[in-house]
Structure 1
């Protein structure tokens, strides 16, 4: 019995069958090698992006825009009131900082609006007015930050508080005017939040009474000084033997008025100080101060008449002196 031989060539299997032909004369079928056919790489189809879900902000109608502007003012009214009602400088500083934050927030809210086309460039100009508010406050509070009066005296807290509140009011008025100018007719921004003008404290408006004796020391004499004040400021006339800080007597003379100082003794010098905002406690003018004296000594044996203003043909020279 013949054996069956299996030959593996490549991937084909050839089996020799039972045949009468000699094995040496058999021809083998050519081997076939099958190479796997490459599959084409599929091109990915782009996935379409989903439609945007961000809503498009529609422009406000003119009526809606006007309402938004009015709401902005409403949101600031209470902050302005807190500032104007502050009883002390410390309370004022806290309220002012809160108002500045509120102004900034309203500027942001207005900046997020989509104004109607009719607003044109006015909307951007109104936002610039809000941006200028902080610098406006700094400028308008400069006077209240000074601790000395114009005459170098300590400034009263009531005066500083008045000046500070007035500075904030001025900034609110400036902001309102700029917004109204930018947005045009029909916008009355600031009408509700602008506070009324404040009444100055007595330290800023004080005046002595004409002929009021401010100081008197020592015995009385028989001398008389008739005084006419033709100047534009109130004056305190001081009679002293040598220096004005040690007066024999002093008297208040309002501008455009006359008065007499009686009871002067001996020879003396005449000093005078002028100004505004009379402080009766310290017996000083606190603003616009000027200090002078007549150069010549007055003989107490005579009565004298002096006119406080330049006079044609006047015969008495004066000089500036140190504050007293």
Structure 2
């Protein structure tokens, strides 16, 4: 059988029409599904690649022994969170994960800001112990949000989680006013009085040859005294702050370290010697104080 050229074109046109009809039939239209950019890396590996360094930084926390070491770990965590946020902000993700991907990038940015705030608090001595610095990180909204969003992504097939080590809670420990933090023999006749009219607790130490002999806890707005001070010429050091840690004999938050410029001689002989200091500024005050490096501050 022989077909002419025009007949052949007619058959092809009919076939194309039938094909289109078959594709458009079935009682409705399907919404197009979002697909990643051609050639893009699948979202799962991208997610893992960027969350893994954050978890690696968090894993180092359990091994730190000092505030300085912790600050170093925070620097690593800051970088990891920043890079993860930047990468996930532009990463391709399927429709089911697109919104959570966007929110996760923002949460990582918040985490980076939170970490930077902890580092700033360490530098400013708003937190001045490892426990209080870790507790401040534990309060991070960024940490909580990242964990929540990773759980949501896991629910739609992208398995990832944030491995946050146990972190302490912020505390507000104190001592009774007048408690002796360290106490020498107290066999002398001298009296040392302290008026703390300020807004923070303090521990005041009488120091001989660089070592605290007598240290007393003076609560904010209170007065305290040490009786029985032995003869000698003492330096007076003051540590102020919040949350007194009796184990380390130090405040853990809002710390300040000062030393009175003048020394305080006790030469009782047959007559008692008494000194009184005020920690708050007073109009007719005649004593000056200087800041002291906490690393050279005598432990109470």
Question: TM-score with structure 2 length normalisation?
Answer: 0.55
**1:141–1:152 CA distance, 2 compared to 1 (3 A):** closer
Alignment partner for residue 217 of structure 1, among 162, 184, 196? 184
What are the ranges of 5 or more consecutive residues in structure 2 without an aligned counterpart?
Answer: 33-60, 63-84, 86-90, 150-166
Alignment of 1:134-173 (within 5 A): 134-142=108-116, 150=125, 155-156=130-131, 160=134, 162-168=135-141, 172=145
Alignment of 1:104-143 (within 5 A): 108-109=95-96, 129=103, 131-142=105-116
**1:206–1:240 CA distance, 2 compared to 1 (3 A):** same
Counterpart position of 1:279:
245
Counterpart position of 1:319:
290
How far residue 294 of structure 1 moved from its aligned partner, in angstroms, is: 1.7
**1:310–1:248 CA distance, 2 compared to 1 (3 A):** same
**1:146–1:232 CA distance, 2 compared to 1 (3 A):** closer
Structure 2 residue matching 1:288: 3-state secondary structure: strand
Structure 2 residue matching 1:247: 3-state secondary structure: strand
Structure 2 residue matching 1:287: 3-state secondary structure: strand
What is the rounded CA distance, in whole Å, between the counterparts of 1:221 and 1:107 in structure 2? 80
1:295 equivalent in alignment to 2:268 = no
Counterpart position of 1:194:
none
What is the rounded CA distance, in whole Å, between the counterparts of 2:291 and 2:111 in structure 1? 38
Structure 1 residue matching 2:212: 3-state secondary structure: coil
**Structure number with larger C-alpha Rg:** 1
Counterpart position of 2:230:
265
**Bigger share in helix:** 2
Indicate conservation of the 8 Å contact 1:206/1:279, yes or no: yes
The root-mean-square deviation of aligned C-alpha atoms, in Å, is: 4.3
Q: Which has the higher contact order (CA 8 A, sep 6+)?
A: 2
How far residue 215 of structure 1 moved from its aligned partner, in angstroms, is: 0.7
How far residue 40 of structure 1 moved from its aligned partner, in angstroms, is: 4.7
What is the rounded CA distance, in whole Å, between the counterparts of 1:241 and 1:131 in structure 2? 56
Indicate conservation of the 8 Å contact 2:206/2:213, yes or no: yes
How far residue 217 of structure 1 moved from its aligned partner, in angstroms, is: 2.9
1:204 equivalent in alignment to 2:191 = no
Report how many aligned residue pairs link the two structures: 205
What is the rounded CA distance, in whole Å, between the counterparts of 1:147 and 1:317 in structure 2? 27
Indicate conservation of the 8 Å contact 1:141/1:168, yes or no: no
How far residue 238 of structure 1 moved from its aligned partner, in angstroms, is: 0.4
What is the rounded CA distance, in whole Å, between the counterparts of 2:174 and 2:222 in structure 1? 13
Indicate conservation of the 8 Å contact 1:207/1:277, yes or no: yes
Indicate conservation of the 8 Å contact 2:114/2:142, yes or no: no
Alignment partner for residue 5 of structure 2, among 31, 41, 44? 41
Counterpart position of 1:247:
212
